Amino acid sequence: MNDNHKPSIEVYVATHKKIDFALPDYCKKIQVNAERLGQWEGYLHDNDNREDNISLKNPNYCELTALYSMWKNCKADIQGLFHYRRYISRVEKVRGEDGLNTLMTSSRNICKFAITQDMIINALKNADVICVRPFRNAFPILEERKQYCYWHDIRELNNVIREYYPDYTAALQHVYDNCEISACNMFIAGREIVNGYCTWMFDVLEKLEGRISLEGYDVNHARIYGYLSEFLLDVYMYRNNLKPAYFYKIFIEENAVTRFKISTVRALRRIPGLANVVRAYRKSRLERHSIETDEFFINTEDIYYTSCTAVIFKPKNINFSVSSLEEQLIKLETEAKDKKRILFPRIILDPATPGAVKDSLREAGIRIMNAQ
């Protein structure tokens, strides 16, 4: 990159709800699903280009409809994609991280903690792509993706790449065998790299669409192209020898426990005859990350590590009632606050959990993980 020319930077922030907090100057709010919802004033929209957009595919492509619009319309030298609640932070390294890749803060602090323009420019002098620090799974990515995608859909993706992009098959297998990916389709790169990646990735997904029927898919599995594309970025980088610069992801969460509790209880109460469905709690590993916040941000207590507590649904177990959910979560939240953590609960379903429970939870937007 030419040091005598300060490049222009635009990072699109994909959102399906109106943002009421300030963003860094280089960020551009873009409304997704705008073709169905109607365009909001003061936002870019994923259907601004009336002749060339994929806005109507948002239920299946997720934030990729914003990425497609950026690819077709953005003229900035450096381009990227964030989510309205997820950003790339200015943190590159934390001592003793033990596999952590996400930090948390409130919406009022995003401008304070998001990566700066100067950091973006400097990072891209020595790297090709700025990515979210990879999250390490307990098993290879191919197995991890089976939590979100049906196996026959993954198999069809393999076939598309094998038939149309055979020189990418080795890179695809490398990513499958790895236990880490830079998730969420969040990255920042120069315009040429963005163009190359989007040209390849959207062509792969378009060819895949012709082989898959989404009839009968629940809301979660219908997001297939968003899920599959998350590891395609790693495939593209590996195949093209692109050097990444990794930064931590910063996640906005005002009250994770309250939101989780309300959405979970509402989802369960919609299911007839579920009054006795019970949970067993796997104790959160609150001691896992023992780093104080001032090791990377000075004089602030507004940023926290995440602490993941899994709630396991076991329909045949009658030791706990649904009404105890609030009490248990409040106890865990208190423990987390004492450790300068924000509790970020997720659900692990027992294999015997009824399909009605799974469907209701997914419709409520709750992330489901497989039983371990």
Mean pLDDT, range 109-127, rounded to an integer = 95
Same domain (yes/no): 263, 202: no
Answer whether residue 4 is part of any domain.
no
Q: Which of 268, 106, 244 is nearest to 187 (CA)?
A: 244
Closest CA to 363 of 267, 277, 257, 272: 267
Residue 39 CA to residue 42 CA, distance in Å, equals: 9
Q: What percent of the chain has a predicted confidence (pLDDT) above 90? A: 50
Are residue 187 and residue 323 in the same domain, yes or no?
Answer: no
At residue 218, the pLDDT reads: 84
Q: Compute, in degrees rounded to 10, the torsion defined by CA atoms 202, 234, 251, 40.
A: -10
Looking at the structure of the chain, the number of domains it has is 2
- pTM reported for the whole predicted model: 0.77
pLDDT digits (tens, 9 = 90+) for 45-84: 999 999 999 999 999 999 999 999 999 999 999 999 999 9
List pLDDT tens digits, range 150-167.
Answer: 899 999 999 999 999 999
Residues 295 and 163 in one domain: no
> CA-CA distances (angstroms) from residue 237 to 1, 80, 171, 232, 312?
19, 15, 9, 9, 36
Same domain, 83 and 135: yes
Residue 251 has pLDDT above 90, yes or no: no
Last residue of a domain, one of 215, 247, 279: 247
- Residues 131, 187: one domain? yes
Is 108 domain-assigned?
A: yes
Give a yes or no: residue 312 inside a domain: yes
161 is a domain residue: yes
User: Does residue 26 carry a pLDDT above 70?
Assistant: yes
Q: What is the pLDDT of residue 109?
A: 85
Please indicate, yes or no, if residue 2 is contained in any of the structural domains: no
Most confident of 116-130, 245-259, 282-296, 306-320: 116-130
Of 247, 263, 293, which marks where a domain is finished? 247
Strand 44-45 to 27-31 pairing:
parallel
Q: Does 320 score more than 90 pLDDT?
A: no
The answer, yes or no, to whether residue 370 has pLDDT greater than 70, is: no
Model confidence at 116: pLDDT above 60? yes
Q: Contact at 8 Å (CB) between 345 and 329?
A: yes
At 294 the pLDDT is 33
Kindly state whether residues 234 and 259 are assigned to the same domain: no
Amino acid 330: pLDDT: 66
Statement to judge: residues 194 and 97 lie in one domain: yes
Indicate if 145 and 259 belong to the same structural domain.
no
pLDDT tops 80 at residue 347: no
Residue 289 has pLDDT above 70, yes or no: no
Query: Residue 106 in contact with residue 254, Cβ under 8 Å?
Result: yes
Predicted pLDDT at 108: 84
For the chain, give the mean pLDDT: 79
Domain that holds residue 320: 255-370
Q: Does residue 324 register a pLDDT over 80?
A: no
Is 233 a domain residue?
A: yes
Inform me whether the pLDDT recorded for 169 exceeds 60. yes
Region 354-370: mean pLDDT is: 67
Of residues 88 and 314, more confidence is placed in 88
- Reduce the DSSP state of residue 9 to 3 states and report it: strand
Q: Which of 247, 270, 302 marks a domain boundary? A: 247
* pLDDT of the residue at 354: 67
- Domain membership of residue 20 (yes or no) is yes
Residue 36 lies in a domain: yes
User: If you average pLDDT over residues 30-40, what whole number do you get?
Assistant: 97
> Do 14 and 90 reside in the same domain of the chain?
yes
pLDDT tier, 207 (very low <50, low <70, confident <90, very high otherwise): very high
Q: Is the same domain home to 56 and 186?
A: yes
Better pLDDT: 329 or 238: 238
Percent of the chain with pLDDT over 70: 66
Kindly state whether residues 103 and 47 are assigned to the same domain.
yes
Whether residue 299 sits in one domain with residue 201 = no
Average pLDDT score over residue span 19-29: 95
